[in-house]
Amino acid sequence: MLTFPKRKSLVLSTTLTLSLLFLCVIAVMVWTLYNEQKNAAFNDFRDVGEKLRAQAQVSSPLIDPIAEAYANKKTPAADDVTKLQNLLSAMTDPDQITNAYYMSTNKFEKDGEQNLITMIQSSQSSAGSNDNGTDYPLDDVFLDSYNRVMAGESVLTEPYSDDIGTWISYLAPIKDEDGQIVAMFGLDFDYGKVKHNLSSLLWKAIGIGGFAAVLAIGILFFLIRMAIRPLRLLAATAQEAAKGNLTITLPITSSNEIGQAASSFNEMIQSLRELTGSIKKTSYEVTESSLHLKEISDQTANATQEITVAIQSVASGTELQLRSSQESGRAMTEMAIGIQRITESSAAVSDLSFHTTEQAVEGEQAISRTLQQMKTMELGVFTAVDTMQELQVSSGKIGEILGLIADVANQTNLLALNASIEAARAGEHGRGFAVVALEIRKLAERSKTSSDDVREILQAIETQTSEAASKLIISAEEARAVTELTEATGVSFRTILSSVKQVSELIQEVSAACQQMSASSQQIAATLEEQTRIADTSSSHSHHVAAASEEQLASVEEVARASEQLRSMASKLSEAVSKFELE
């Protein structure tokens, strides 16, 4: 399995992997094409040999006396030799068959080698000689083929070379009317030319395949880069937002799942921007109110201290205490109003934080749905690949059946040819049979042509099926890359959701502190009312007023501590939201 470093670009790693797959597929296709052409050449050699063997078999009555003459070391009849030599010469051509010949069936040993007599050969043989009755030494390849011919088989030898070139020979037995083998018929094919043609075809296929691979890899690289660009931008923007930059937005260029995720992300950023702005504003107001409250608390403490001194001065300080109590009442009223404003602002920020949390959850759910759809698409693509491969196997089986049909057509053609020869020998009595044999031969040729056409169509279907399977595998790899990017985006969404929840918890703490301050201010107000009533009633209640003053002083100190705590929490809140950029 191919692996790449984690820091390498997904586009580059995917393209390299698919490039290797392309090269492997092209190499297999080129090698398959080369072998098919090579096998086709061998099949042509065999088909031509079978057809010419049928013609050579017709002349078996002339071969028997010639073979007997050579066996008895006599000179055969010149007319018979000329007829057979003309027949063999008609079988040769300069491009394919370089020599045709009849050999004796009786081998003999000469100079430590097994030999056969070349009874008759074409007028111009591959060796440049047209001598008949010469000895032909048998090498191991030819000796093995001779043994198979004597067993009744027709043989296509393995390629062999000599000083002139490289050859493949077709050997077949020639039988008399009693079924006895009287000679061995042979054809020499110029395999050197075939190898040259196959090599040229191989290099052409390599060149075309290489060009197609480079073109396909370039197109594939461009398509993968274009498909992954929106997710890469979404991941980078989410990371930037997680660092605190809330001024960014994603461009929405499509309405698919990626476009919906980008839209949800923009809505979430907008909500976070509004929430952060409200929090900054509220934290500033809380800080200002806490400072004002601290000043009021200090003033109240001073007034309470003065009230205590006045009480110790008995009646003369009662009027001063009353005025101080009234001043404290007004201060507490202002403080209560400020606390009420803080409470209302905290409630508004809390509602906005809750709404933002809901939108962040919806964004995370959209990412999860997108991830599930991408996995479903990936599974569907792999299923389609399996179906394409099954179709390719079925096409191969149909091709084998068509091969059998083509073989039957060839056999029928040979039978029709033999029938034509027999009809010609029969003269007028066989003329009708010759017409029938001609029609059968035409039907056989049409059957072979049709089966070859169907085989070409099936090969084209098999090639297209292989290409479709390769493209589906590419689509599956692309879907897998999109799934990984979607998972990374989901992680960023969850990070943002965690930050929103932390801000919401801080807001709840601020709201609780405001409620505590409100309760304290109400308690102070009640104390001031009681203190005023005592001052109005009589100076005789100075001892009770002193006790109330001490209680008031303690309450004021508690308010001072609460205001200091509120200022500290406001500072923490300001620090928490300061990392977010809004403009």
Strand, coil or helix: 484? helix
Question: Of the candidates 141, 73, 60, which has an alpha carbon nearest to the alpha carbon of residue 106?
Answer: 73
Tokens (6 digits) for 395: 């096409």
Question: Of the candidates 300, 372, 290, which has an alpha carbon nearest to the alpha carbon of residue 332?
Answer: 300
Question: Of the candidates 252, 121, 243, 101, which has an alpha carbon nearest to the alpha carbon of residue 171?
Answer: 101
Place of tokens 């990626």: 258
∠ CA(378), CA(380), CA(381), 5° rounding? 65
Phi, psi of 101 (to 5 degrees): -160, 160
Place of tokens 């008895």: 72
How deeply is 335 buried, as exposed, middle or buried, from its count of CB atoms within 10 A (0-12, 13-18, 19+)? buried
Query: What does the pLDDT read at residue 2?
Result: 44
Alpha-helical runs (H) found in 72-162: 78-91, 140-150
The CA-atom distances, in angstroms, between 367 and each of 135, 170, 360, 483 are 87, 71, 11, 10
Instruction: Find out whether 91 and 118 touch, Cβ atoms under 8 Å.
Output: no
Query: What is the rounded CA–CA span in Å between residue 407 and residue 410?
Result: 5
Q: What is the pLDDT along the chain (583 residues), one digit of tens a residue?
A: 444 444 456 667 777 887 788 788 888 887 887 778 778 878 888 898 899 888 888 888 888 888 888 878 888 888 888 888 888 888 888 777 888 899 988 888 888 888 888 889 886 554 444 467 788 888 888 888 899 999 989 999 888 877 777 888 899 999 988 888 989 999 988 888 888 877 787 788 788 878 887 888 888 777 777 767 777 777 777 777 777 777 777 777 777 777 777 788 788 877 877 787 778 778 777 777 777 777 787 777 777 777 667 666 765 666 676 677 677 777 777 777 877 777 777 777 777 767 777 777 777 777 777 777 777 876 776 787 777 777 777 777 777 787 777 777 778 878 877 877 877 787 777 777 777 777 887 887 887 788 778 778 877 877 877 777 777 777 777 777 777 777 777 777 678 777 777 777 777 777 777 777 777 767 776 776 777 777 677 656 666 666 776 777 777 777 777 777 777 877 777 776 665 666 6
Handedness of CA 526, 528, 530, 532 (dihedral sign): negative
Query: What is the rounded CA–CA span in Å between residue 85 and residue 103?
Result: 13
- Element spanning 103, H or E: strand 97-103
The CA-atom distances, in angstroms, between 561 and each of 336, 513, 517, 555, 566 are 16, 11, 10, 10, 9
Q: What letter would DSSP give residue 317?
A: G
- Element spanning 110, H or E: strand 108-110
DSSP of 404-457: HHHHHHHHHHHHHHHHHHHHHHHGGGGHHHHHHHHHHHHHHHHHHHHHHHHHHH
Query: What is the rounded CA–CA span in Å between residue 463 and residue 468?
Result: 9
What interhelical angle do 318-426 and 10-58 show, nearest 10?
A: 10
Query: What is the rounded CA–CA span in Å between residue 35 and residue 523?
Result: 102
Instruction: Find out whether 483 and 374 touch, Cβ atoms under 8 Å.
Output: yes
pTM over 0.75: no
- Element spanning 189, H or E: strand 181-190
